[in-house]
Structure 1
Amino acid sequence: MELEVGILVILGLCAFVAGFVDSIAGGGGLITIPALLAVGIPPAQALGTNKLQATFGSFSATLYFWRRGYIELAEMKGAILAVFIASSVGTIFVQFIDAAILSRVIPFLLIGFALYFLFSPKVSNEGSKRYLGALGMALAAGVVGFYDGFFGPGTGSFFAVVFVALGGYGITHATANAKLLNFTSNVASLLFFALGGKVLWIIGLVMAIGQYLGARLGSRAAVKHGARIIKPLIVTASLVISARLLWQQYGG
């Protein structure tokens, strides 16, 4: 599928904004998927192409956080493996199973997460009590990875809840490790979308440039401002995703 240069530029700008938001709070797909659909790309190819450009954004954010010491790769290797496998399985499952039931449940979970991040004293730059060990964290992350491969909206909020509420991480460290696992999940999903011929490579790579740059700026803002910027953006992203899903079910 070929698009005019002007349309590609607009898609690249959408990806830039999405990369900035997604690197901090998740929810970038709320910007890029509607943009892809709006220019006439079929839904399956829009999802596959979105995974391509999102992979570059999550990689950019992960690299920035890792270079500044917010990610310990050795500590996360079990979670990385679990998320990769689970996301791959989720991506395969979604091709055979109707994911509509999740669209009825997820909005209310996200609203609950928004309220948690808004009111919980644990959500700060400081760490707190850890409730799960390495194996428990890997399994919990794997569940989120499966969800990302199977359905996707709000994955950033789910990963953040795992790290803050169960892992005792401060919000900036939680965001950093969430992007690492989001990158892992994106790579796994992209692999299976590509094998299924669902990726428009030229469009995805143009958008990837915007994603990479936007995520770079977003992760820099997250490190600089910490909970002051991360907390309100996660709350906002969770509520916006919930509103969108509820509108699709009851308002359309």
Structure 2
Amino acid sequence: MDPVNLLFLVPAALLAGFVDAVAGGGGLVTVPALLATGIPPAQALATNKLQGSFGTLMSTWTFWKAGQIDIRSMLFPVVCVLVGAAAGTVAVQVIDASLISAVIPFLLVAIALYFLLSPRAGDLEAQARVSLPVFGLTVGIAVGFYDGFFGPGTGSFFAIGCVALLGMPMRKATANTKLLNFTSNVVSLAVFALGGQIIWWVGLAMAVGQVTGSFIGSHAALRFGAKLVRPLLVVVCLAMTVRLVANPQHPVYGWVSGLFSG
């Protein structure tokens, strides 16, 4: 790793931190940036998890200080996410991820359409459809497992769960999404650290940009709420879909290619 590459990676991390704090999906920026410097994929993912964990921690702290997160009430969902992420991290070592990866683009498009076609979604607090324990045992475990197993779109899945099931306004949903996402990140980070895959000095240098971007992004989300978060969430979901499907190794890529070639 040429130290000059940090002049490219740190600003990329800053941009990713902003995007992640507002809508999630910051890995769309940092993972390709890390790969572009010649870092092998496993080390790129591990190093990305390190710098990203600093970002979600900063966002969580900022939203908590602003009174948007009630740690005590969210404690059970946090534990559920932790259990799910641990199980997912173990499962990914023995189960083929291709089936899950094939479904994710369709779920991301569905989330984008939900926020695009429901213009009031997340603008105001609504009646919760499930209790926090039920949310933890369903969304918490399922999305936590997914983050430990695969990852892309985790923030979007948490966000739609907080809005659609808990009736949270977008600002509060974004805040609690960061808390839950930080929890799942901790598990993956610990596994990567045990596996010796993290390039620590690169990840810590990027963390400076990530924390700065997260600070700016979380304050922007607090100020503008759904007016900023909802459209950016739609864009990020669609961008992640394109990135996944554009990979020749993705199952959907093969299906689409087959349709056009036929």
Tell me the TM-score range normalised by the shorter chain: over 0.9
* Equivalent residue, structure 2, for 1:200: 199
Q: Work out the CA distance in 2 between the residues paired with 1:98 and 1:34.
A: 23
Shift, 1:197, TM fit: 1.1
TM-score (ref. length: structure 2)? 0.92
Q: Work out the CA distance in 2 between the residues paired with 1:17 and 1:155.
A: 18
* Equivalent residue, structure 2, for 1:75: 73
* Equivalent residue, structure 1, for 2:243: 244
Q: Which consecutive residues of structure 1, in runs of 5 or more, have no partner in the other structure? A: none
Larger Rg: 2
* Equivalent residue, structure 2, for 1:84: 82
- Does residue 127 (structure 1) correspond to residue 125 (structure 2)? The answer is yes
Which of 74, 97, 100 lines up with 1:99 in the alignment?
A: 97
Q: Deviations for 1:46-102, whole angstroms, at most 9, x for unmatched residues? A: 111111000000001110000000000001000111111211221222223221222
Shift, 1:108, TM fit: 0.6
* Equivalent residue, structure 2, for 1:209: 208
Q: Please say which of residues 89-98 and 49-58 is displaced more in the overlay.
A: 89-98
Q: Which amino acid letter does the alignment assign opposite residue 157 of structure 2?
A: F
Query: Residue 141 of structure 1 contacts residue 162 of structure 1 at CA under 8 Å; is this kept in 2?
Result: no
Which of 9, 12, 15 lines up with 1:14 in the alignment?
A: 12
Structure-to-structure mapping, 1:1-252, within 5 angstroms: 3-139=1-137, 140-248=139-247, 249=250, 250=253
Q: Work out the CA distance in 2 between the residues paired with 1:138 and 1:35.
A: 34
The aligned length equals 250
Q: Work out the CA distance in 2 between the residues paired with 1:224 and 1:127.
A: 16
Q: Work out the CA distance in 1 between the residues paired with 2:87 and 2:48.
A: 19
Identity, in percent, stands at 51
Shift, 1:121, TM fit: 4.6
Q: Work out the CA distance in 2 between the residues paired with 1:82 and 1:172.
A: 22
> In structure 2, the residue corresponding to 1:46 is in which secondary structure?
helix
Q: Work out the CA distance in 2 between the residues paired with 1:238 and 1:196.
A: 30
Q: Deviations for 1:135-181, whole angstroms, at most 9, x for unmatched residues? A: 11112122111111111111111000110000110010000000000
Q: Work out the CA distance in 1 between the residues paired with 2:161 and 2:88.
A: 19
Q: Work out the CA distance in 2 between the residues paired with 1:34 and 1:121.
A: 32
What's the Cα RMSD here?
1.3
